[in-house]
Each structure stands twice: as structure tokens, then as C-alpha cells.
A and B are shown apart, each in its own frame.
Chain A
Amino acid sequence: MRIEVEINGRPYAGEVEPRTLLSDFIRHEAGLTGTHVGCEHGVCGACTIQLDGETVRSCLMLAAQANGRSLLTVEGLAGGGDLHPLQEAFHERHALQCGFCTPGFLLSAEALLRERPDPSEREVREALAGNLCRCTGYEGIVKAVLDVAAARRAEAA
């Protein structure tokens, strides 16, 4: 069946089977390979994207369910060529090594900071507990997210 999905503000259409996962549609039909597939059962978070601004596991949605909906993937974070502040902070704080978990972390953190612009460290750790990283030990990731929250506080002040 044919579906039409808006991803990062652009329309994408394609033929899918009912069993086609959204993660596979994003990667293979839309060609956006920044969204990664780690476990296909929802625990690792590498496939995390945003649907209408809320995080979801793309490996646990059928592509058919995204028909007519609006998605954000990691490719849509940076506007106009500049890195998103979270991406800058991840770079500064060595919050990535292999980078496999990073897109999922970025989208989870982006959603967190919009709901809770000034989270405590504990709130950051709990909100990101659904994203697993095998390389970094998480310290840099948590610091990067807190840096971005602090930057907002500084600007607003």
C-alpha cells in the first residue's frame, strides 16, 4: 500500500507492506539513515524519532501507522546548516564515540528540554534511561544536555 509521510518538513511517499516497520521505511524508502536500528524490540532507543513532537520508537511502529503524519529525525535537527545546540554540546562534551546511539539520544534530549527546560541531573538521567550507550558511560551525554539547559537559562536571564 502507498503511504505519504512528512519527514523533517519534506514529503516522502512510498509503497510498503503492512509489516514494514517505520524504522525501515525511514532508512530504506526515505533514505534517511541517521535513524539506527539496534534491537527491534524497543529497549535500546537507537531508533527514537519524534512524531508530532513526541518521541516514539520507530522500530515499534508500522510504516502504515505514520501515513499522513509528521516526523522529525536527526537529519532535521540542524536548521540551515548550523548544528543544533545539543549537537554542539555533544561534540564539546565528548558525548559520542561510535555515534550509533547518538541520534536517538539527541531526539530524546530535544523533547525533554522542550517539556522541562530546566531539568535536574536526576531528571535528565531518568528521561534518557531509555537510550542505551555502549561507548561513553553516559557522563558526557548528561553534561551536554545540562549545558544546553544552562545556556537557555543564561540567555533568558
Chain B
Amino acid sequence: MRLSRTIELRVPAWAALAAGRWGGPVRVRAGEVEYAGKVALVDVDEDARVVGAHAQARRVGGWGGVAARLELRPQDERAVEISGDVSLSGEASEEAAEALLGGVAARLEDAATEPAPDRARVPVPRVAAGSGGEAEPHEPSPADDPAYRRRLAARAAMAVAVGAAVGVVGAALGRRRS
């Protein structure tokens, strides 16, 4: 089914859409039923001024859900038209389709009001190989040497070949006897 709605953002629409920080998990209700999934930005067409997105949500504890390919177009400075084809599966109702669109709209509105996260440059914390203990030095191992690994592989291949040859010879001898 084809659905559309228009929402007002509090910030310039195209910039907010194209920045793409509004995708993420979606949890909505259609009556008593909960649907959970996510909306993701798919592509930004700067030339045609349209953003593509994909949204889906599963009926929690039930059968089926909703999925939609959406197009988001700025209508003027702050308005965005969200439209697309929504498929319903299982027990999902048309209310669920509207709810999914509502969930997408909510994510857009939320992202448009929050300031962009501060991406201060800090050294990236590193989690050590052990679970949360002191950072352990990487223990050198014979397996780190590519030449050693190649020798092992060659030995393994020879072992397989020898084994196969023995098997073939054994089978041939066996057949001749019987």
C-alpha cells in the first residue's frame, strides 16, 4: 500500500535529511501490538534532492510485520514529505503501516533537534585481549611465521596424499585377493 505524510522539522530539511544521522531502531505500537525494527538511510540523491530509506519492523511476539521503501523529499525550508510502498505480512494491519511511518518521522524529528554529537578527538581506548585485565603482550607463536604455516600446509597435504595413496593401493590389493 502506498502511504505518505508530511512533517515539519525545526531545522532546514535537506541538510538534516542528507546528513543521515536519523537512522536507527524503531519501536512503535499499533493499538495493543508492538512492532520493532529499524529505519536506515539508503541513498542521497543530491541532484534530484531526494533521500531513499528502508524501514522494517516485526510484530513482537507474533507473526509478520511491515516493510517499506521510502522516499523523503524536502517540501520547503523545513517540511519533509515521507512517502513509499509499505508491505504488510502475517498479522500486520494497516495501522501498523501508519505506525511505522510515524516511527520514521519521530526519528527524523528527534535527530533534527539534537545537536550533532561532539566528535572530539580522543585517543581510541583499546580493550585488551584478555577480558578486561592488564593489556597482555601478544605472545609470539610459531604460527606467526608465514613460512612455518606454509610448511605445515605442505606437510598436511602430503599426509593426505599419502593416506589417499595407501587407501587406493589397499583397495586394489583387496580387490585382487577376492
Decide whether A and B assemble into one complex. Answer: yes
Interchain CB contact under 8 A, A15 and B127: no
Could you say which of B36, B90, B127, B129 contacts A53, with CB atoms under 8 Å apart? B36
Binary interface profile of A, 44-86, with partner B (CB < 8 Å = 1, else 0)? Answer: 0000001011100000000010000010100000011000110
How far is the CB of B100 from the nearest CB of chain A, in Å?
11
Binary interface profile of A, 1-28, with partner B (CB < 8 Å = 1, else 0)? Answer: 1100000010000011111000000000
Interface residues of B in 85-111 (CB under 8 A from A): 87-91
Chain B residues positioned under 8 Å from A18 (CB to CB): 127-129
Interchain CB contact under 8 A, A115 and B131: no
How far is the CB of A86 from the nearest CB of chain B, in Å?
8
Could you say which of A1, A9, A19, A152 contacts B60, with CB atoms under 8 Å apart? A9
Known A52-B37, A152-B89; contact A80-B61, beta-carbon cutoff 8 A: yes
Interchain CB contact under 8 A, B25 and A52: yes
How far is the CB of A21 from the nearest CB of chain B, in Å?
14
Q: At the interface, yes or no: A41 with Cβ under 8 Å from chain B?
A: no
Can you name the residue of chain B whose Cβ is closest to the Cβ of A72? B58
Q: At the interface, yes or no: B70 with Cβ under 8 Å from chain A?
A: no
- Can you list 18 residue pairs at the A/B interface with Cβ under 8 Å? A1-B131, A17-B131, A52-B38, A54-B38, A64-B127, A79-B61, A114-B66, A114-B67, A114-B89, A114-B90, A115-B87, A116-B87, A117-B64, A117-B87, A117-B88, A152-B64, A152-B89, A155-B91
Instruction: Please give the residue numbers on chain B whose beta carbons come within 8 Å of chain A beta carbons, in ascending order.
Output: 25, 36-38, 56-58, 60-67, 87-91, 127-132
